[in-house]
Amino acid sequence: MEHPNPQTMGQQFGRRSWAEPWKIKMVEPLRVISREERERALAEAGYNTFLLRSDDVYIDLLTDSGASAMSDRQWAGMMLGDEAYAGSRNFYHLEEAVQTYYGYRYIVPTHQGRGTEHLISQALIKPGMFVPGNMYFTTTRLHQELAGGTFVDVIIDEAHDPSSRHPFKGDVDLDKLQALIDRVGVDQIAYVSLAGTVNMAGGQPVSLANMRALRELCDRYGIRIYLDATRMVENAYFIQEREPGYADKSIAAILRECCSYTDGAWMSAKKDNLVNIGGWLAVNDRDLYDVLGNLVVIYEGLHTYGGMAGRDMEALAIGIVESVQDAHIRSRIGQVYYLGELLTDWEIPIVQPVGGHAIFLDARRFYQHMPQEHLPAQTLAAELYLDSGIRSMERGIVSAGRDPQTGENRRPALELTRLTIPRRVYTQAHMDVVAESVKAIYDARERTQGLEIVYEPKYLRFFQARFERL
Ligand X SMILES: *Cc1c(COP(=O)(O)O)cnc(C)c1O
Distance in Å, CB of 111 to ligand X, minimum: 8
Active site residue 417: no
**Shortest distance in whole angstroms from residue 64 CB to ligand X:** 8
Distance CA 318, CA 434 (A): 31
Q: Which of 395, 418, 423, 445 is catalytic?
A: 395
Interface with ligand X in residues 190-229 (CB under 6 A): 195, 199, 228
User: Minimum distance between the CB of residue 136 and ligand X, rounded to whole angstroms?
Assistant: 10
Residue numbers 394-423 binding ligand X by CB under 6 A: none
> Which residue's CB is nearer to ligand X, number 280 or number 442?
280
Question: Catalytic residue at 338?
Answer: no
- Set 231, 271, 330, 445: catalytic member: 271
Does 65 help bind ligand X (rule: CB under 6 A)? Answer: yes
Quote the least distance from Cβ 228 to ligand X, whole Å: 5
140 part of the interface to ligand X, by CB under 6 A:
yes
Contact pattern from residue 247 through residue 286 relative to ligand X, giving x for each residue in contact according to CB under 6 A and a dash for the rest: ---------------------x-xx-------x-------
Residue from 60, 64, 173, 228 carrying the catalytic annotation: 228
Burial per residue of 265-292, b for 16 or more beta-carbon CB atoms within 10 angstroms, e otherwise: bbbbbbbbbbbbbbbbbbbbeeebbebb
Residue among 38, 93, 114, 391 that touches ligand X (CB under 6 A): 114
Q: Which long-range contacts (CB under 8 A, 24 or more apart) does 447-452 make?
A: 448/367, 448/370, 448/379, 448/383, 449/374, 449/379, 450/367, 450/370, 450/371, 450/373, 450/374, 450/375, 450/376, 450/379, 451/47, 451/374, 451/375, 451/378, 451/379, 451/382, 452/374, 452/375
Cα–Cα distance, 351 to 162 (Å, whole number): 5
- CA 268 from centroid of its chain's CA atoms: 9
- Is residue 462 among the annotated active site residues? yes
- Find the residue with minimal CB distance to ligand X: 113
How far is 266 from 282, CA to CA, in rounded Å? 6
Please identify, using beta-carbon distances, which residue of 201 and 252 lies nearer to ligand X.
Answer: 201
Closest CA to 421 of 64, 142, 172: 64
CB nearer to ligand X: pick between 276 and 352: 276
Q: Where are the alpha helices (DSSP H) in 102-173?
A: 113-124, 138-146
Residues making contact with ligand X (CB under 6 A): 65, 112-114, 137, 139-140, 195, 199, 228, 230, 268, 270-271, 279
